[in-house]
């Protein structure tokens, strides 16, 4: 299936540490997107990386994409308590977004 | 205020009743989407719309009806609610199905 799959599914870190999560997918894509969801809220778009890009930065976020391995990683540097959320990758290769099941990140103050 | 809103935010209904969830966006995005979010399943696409009067099924359309008479509104109707439709429903909009989507705050629906 097109759906991305995040790994690890749950991550607990201390404030100030870096958090890394991975996403794997199965078919070819046009782009891959990462979204954040705070508890009880809607999803918020973080970053989009296109299939011809290998790395992208946005503030404390760094996303990599390896199309040969069909995988992406999201790195959050110098984590803050406010980064506590679920993070979803979404792939798009079929004219719609397919979301993974999410990765729960808890940042301990 | 600009953005995407959903109403109601919370709804309790009974099996067999008709329920309509509303979605309104002020960006004039051509595309709008309805997802449901369930534990263990992530987000699943129910229906989407490319423009007014153009709608198409997603991954889990059974039991749902949509319409889009105006670009800014995309209501989702459960014609005869079932317990399996208990979920959190998110509406989203965007300029393209492949680009960034902007999500509403969600509607928590409980079907008794």
| Per-10-residue mean pLDDT, chain B, length 112 | 89 98 96 93 92 93 96 97 98 94 97 98
Which residues of chain B make contact with A100, given a CB cutoff of 8 A?
42
What is the pairing mode between strands A10-14 and A103-108?
parallel
Query: In sequence order, which residues have a C-beta less than 8 Å from that of residue A59 and are 6 or more positions away?
Result: none
Q: How many CB pairs under 8 A join A and B?
A: 50
Task: Give yes or no for B100 touching A (CB within 8 A).
Answer: yes
β partners of residue A108: A14
Residue of B nearest to A47 (CA): B100
Q: A48 vs B43: CB contact, 8 Å cut-off? A: no
Which residues of chain A make contact with B90, given a CB cutoff of 8 A?
42-43
**pLDDT tens sequence across A6-62:** 766 788 999 999 999 999 998 888 899 999 999 999 999 999 999 999 999 999 999
pLDDT score recorded for residue A1 = 39
Radius of gyration of chain A (CA): 13
Strands (E) in B1-112, as ranges, are 4-7, 10-13, 19-25, 31-38, 42-51, 54-57, 64-66, 76-78, 87-94, 102-103, 107-111
């Amino acid at each position: 299936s097109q759906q991305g799959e995040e790994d690890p599914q749950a991550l607990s870190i201390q404030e100030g540490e870096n958090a890394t999560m991975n996403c794997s997918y199965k078919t070819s894509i046009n782009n891959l997107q990462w979204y954040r969801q705070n508890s009880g809220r809607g999803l918020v778009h973080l970053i989009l990386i296109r299939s011809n890009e290998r790395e992208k930065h946005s503030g404390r976020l760094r996303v990599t994409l390896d199309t040969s391995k069909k995988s992406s990683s999201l790195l959050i540097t110098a984590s803050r308590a406010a980064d506590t959320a679920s993070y979803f990758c979404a792939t798009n290769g079929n004219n719609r977004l397919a979301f993974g099941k999410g990765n729960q990140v808890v940042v301990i103050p | 205020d600009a953005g995407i809103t959903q109403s109601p935010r919370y709804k309790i209904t009974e099996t067999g009743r008709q329920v309509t969830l509303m979605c309104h966006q002020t960006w004039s995005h051509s595309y709008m989407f309805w997802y449901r979010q369930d534990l263990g399943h992530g987000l699943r696409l129910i229906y989407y719309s490319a423009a007014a009067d153009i709608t198409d099924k997603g991954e889990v359309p059974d039991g749902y009806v949509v319409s889009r008479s105006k670009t800014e509104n995309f209501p989702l109707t459960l014609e005869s609610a079932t317990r399996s439709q208990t979920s959190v429903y998110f509406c989203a909009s965007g300029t393209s199905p492949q680009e960034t989507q902007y999500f509403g705050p969600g509607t928590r629906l409980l079907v008794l």
